[in-house]
Structures are given as structure tokens and as C-alpha cells.
Structure 1
Amino acid sequence: MVQRILRLREVQEASGLARSSIYEGMKAGTFPKSIPLSEKAVGWVEAEIIQWQEERIAARAMARAA
């Protein structure tokens, strides 16, 4: 199965986060890590970004239920 790789602009649009917040989240372990595409390019696995979104939505639902 071929997985889609997202570039930074697409990840920013999907997450609603700024570049700095994405990299801070990666460092803290709260956001999916990028993968190297070349010496100067990175990308993110789309499925991991979708999973991150789903986790955020689930956390919101649990917070509302509490």
C-alpha cells in the first residue's frame, strides 16, 4: 500500500498549527515526527497526521463528558 507523504504546508493546513508549534510538538513527543525525503526536505505520513487529529477530537469528547 502506498502511503501519502505530506509536506509542511499541508501539515500546517491539516493541523491548524504554525511551523514552530509543529516542531515543538515533535520535540515534546505530542506530534508525529517527520521523515527525511532528501538532504533538505522532510515530510509527514498522512495516516499519522490523521491519527493525531482523531486523538485530539477524542480528547475533546472525553473532556466534555467529564
Structure 2
Amino acid sequence: MFNTQTANPARPGSPAGNVATASQMPERFIRLPEVITRTGLSRSSIYAAIQRGAFPASVSLGGKSVAWLESEITAWQGARIATRTH
């Protein structure tokens, strides 16, 4: 049956004590349509930039499915912003 005990939030090993902060959040996979929206690049431009080593590589999710790590896309955007000239 189910465990009806209430977890102690102060106890480090308890589920309530394992609240993740923003820096501990698991990686989020984003699919191509979202990458296109976030970067403003076309599909072909993204894959060409990957071939040149100028854009984060995709991660295979199995079969024909791929995605990108949100943190890597965000870092790429930050690097682009940092190198712009005003």
C-alpha cells in the first residue's frame, strides 16, 4: 500500500527536503521548431553551423528524434550577444 508518513522537510534525505533550485534543475531538451524560434535561424542554417562547429550539436533521443540542450542554446545566444558591436 501507500506510505502515509509525512516527510520531514528539514531532513536532507526526505522528498520535501530535495527541492531543486534553478541551478540544480535538470537539463531541458528543446526540439528544432523551438530552436528555430529562439535563434531566428532557418533549419538549414542551424545544420550548416553545426557542421562548421559554430552551433551546439543536437542530442539523439532515439530513432530519428533529436533535440538540443536548452542551456547550450542559451549559452550560444549569450556568446552572440557578447560579440556584437554597437
Same fold at TM > 0.5: yes
Alignment of 1:1-66 (within 5 A): 1-60=25-84, 63-64=85-86
Q: Deviation per CA, 1:30-58, whole angstroms, max 9, x where unpaired? A: 00000000111000000000000000000
TM-score (norm 2): 0.70
Structure number with greater CO (CA < 8 Å, separation at least 6) is 1
Partner of 1:37, secondary structure, is: strand
TM-score (norm 1): 0.90
The alignment-based identity, stated in percent, is 48
Q: Which runs of 4+ in 1 moved over 2 A?
A: none
How many residues end up aligned between the 2 structures?
62
Partner of 2:55, secondary structure, is: coil
How far residue 3 of structure 1 moved from its aligned partner, in angstroms, is: 0.5
Between structure 1 and structure 2, the one with the greater Rg is: 2
Backbone CA RMSD of aligned residues: 0.8
Structure 1 stretches lacking a partner, 5+ long? none
